[in-house]
Amino acid sequence: MTEVLTRVLEGVTNGAAREGAAAAESVQKVVRARPGLAPDADADAQLHPAAKPPAAVEVVAGDGPAGQGVGNEAAQAIVLELAGVSLSFGGVAALSEVDLSVRRGEILAIIGPNGAGKSSILNIVSGVYRADRGHVRLKGQRYAQVPTQALADLGIARTFQNLALFPGLSVLDNVVAGRAHRARSSFVEQIAGFGRARRERLDARARAIDVIDFLQLSALAERPAGTLPYGLQKRVELARALVAEPEILLLDEPMAGMTASEKAEMAGFVTAARDRFGTTVVLIEHDIGVVMSLSDRVAVLDHGRNIALGTPAEVQRDPRVIDAYLGVAVEDDEDVARGEGL
């Protein structure tokens, strides 16, 4: 059953990646028909006293946004939280009352059709966008807009959906640039090039070399980043984000456009990075096979709403997810196998 659903979901999400508009349209019907979802009223009242109840509900029992459920894994520290976050562009609601809590050290995947609001979540967390309503909670502070100049202090680094490297600079220099924010030396010290500034430069270089080695890019360190194949450029971006030693790493489609073996390799590096640095990872990915094997939990977005959050297995059998993706409720394996609504 699970395997069949995986295949169906994979077909749909891959289809969505190619044909976002068509997939979004088929999902629309279900969104309108979706029954009300039970909010976690207590947690919401604490965080967001005057707000309407959140429209999303978590799949995991006892897994509320404030990390209730002491005594099981839900008690793990919450390092990042979105509470009732709404964002719109003109008349278009990109995010509607999104609640999401991310646990320390987990790999959390965000999936959903094109235009569902996935990148908007990362843009809210990294301060690119300001929430119209609701807030992001980081290190005990609430923000409608996370101050971008404080991202390093907040322990956040990210990669972008589209490559954002300096193509003419070497791989090494690109990765060193990921530590620029760590510089504590003054402008004058940096110009003079000695003392603290020199130590910082050497330290940044040493750490960059270490991360480059960790991601098996050493042989390419002196190559201009722009001359590398796409898959390797994505890995350089990961290196540049990791060299900042972030507590939270936000990856926007780190495997998009990759071959299956490149994706598997990248997934291995993401897991290794989490294991080595203890980094919490929030990533957006379309390949449901990768998502299911890589993630500890999966959040499903649909037209700006977080319709499910749980382990890969829980999300795969969640009727709301099946509805959203298939446009029909699935009764049994035969229905799935027929792939109705695809």
Q: What are phi and psi of 141, to 5 degrees?
A: -110, 145
DSSP 34: P
Residues 6+ apart with CB under 8 A from 332: none
Closer to ligand ADP by CB, 64 or 84: give it. Answer: 84
Using CB distances below 5 to 8 A depending on partner kind, what does residue 92 bind out of ligand ADP, Mg ion, none? Answer: ligand ADP
Closer to Mg ion by CB, 114 or 271: give it. Answer: 114
Using CB distances below 5 to 8 A depending on partner kind, what does residue 170 bind out of Mg ion, ligand ADP, none? Answer: none
Instruction: Return the residue of 115, 127, 134, 246 that touches ligand ADP, per CB under 6 A.
Output: 115
Which strands form 78-89's sheet, in the order they lie side by side? 92-103, 78-89, 133-138, 141-143
Structure tokens at 81: 């939280």
Closer to ligand ADP by CB, 179 or 320: give it. Answer: 320
Instruction: Return the residue of 12, 81, 108, 118 that touches ligand ADP, per CB under 6 A.
Output: 118
CB of 101 to Mg ion, least distance (A): 21
Q: Compute the residue count for the chain.
A: 342
- The span from the CA of 116 to the CA of 21, in Å, is 11
DSSP 224: B
Q: What are phi and psi of 278, to 5 degrees?
A: 70, 20
Closer to Mg ion by CB, 17 or 78: give it. Answer: 17
Is 119 a binding residue for Mg ion by CB under 5 A? The answer is yes
Using CB distances below 5 to 8 A depending on partner kind, what does residue 166 bind out of ligand ADP, Mg ion, none? Answer: none
Beta bridge partners of 310: 298
Chain centroid to CA 251: 5
- The span from the CA of 246 to the CA of 232, in Å, is 21
Contact 301, 284 (CB under 8 A): no
List the end-to-end C-alpha distance of the chain, in Å, as a whole number. 18
Using CB distances below 5 to 8 A depending on partner kind, what does residue 53 bind out of Mg ion, ligand ADP, none? Answer: none
CB of 120 to ligand ADP, least distance (A): 3
Minimal CA–CA distance to 100: which of 57, 150, 133? 57
Minimal CA–CA distance to 20: which of 121, 113, 118? 113
- The span from the CA of 171 to the CA of 178, in Å, is 11
Structure tokens at 277: 């640095």
- The span from the CA of 59 to the CA of 213, in Å, is 39
CB of 245 to Mg ion, least distance (A): 26
Site string for Mg ion, 70-109 (x = CB under 5 A): ----------------------------------------
CB of 106 to ligand ADP, least distance (A): 21
Is 119 a binding residue for ligand ADP by CB under 6 A? The answer is yes
Instruction: Return the residue of 39, 117, 127, 312 that touches ligand ADP, per CB under 6 A.
Output: 117
Q: Segment near Mg ion (CB under 5 A), from 131-139, 153-161, 270-278, 304-312?
A: 153-161
Is 159 a binding residue for Mg ion by CB under 5 A? The answer is no
Closer to ligand ADP by CB, 35 or 91: give it. Answer: 91
Hey, how many other C-beta atoms are within 10 angstroms of the C-beta on 39? 18
CB of 114 to Mg ion, least distance (A): 7
- The span from the CA of 274 to the CA of 242, in Å, is 10
Q: Which of residues 74-113 bind ligand ADP (CB under 6 A)?
A: 89, 92, 94, 112
CB of 109 to ligand ADP, least distance (A): 13
Using CB distances below 5 to 8 A depending on partner kind, what does residue 116 bind out of ligand ADP, Mg ion, none? Answer: ligand ADP
Interacting residue ranges for ligand ADP, rule: CB under 6 A: 89, 92, 94, 112, 114-120
Interacting residue ranges for Mg ion, rule: CB under 5 A: 118-119, 161
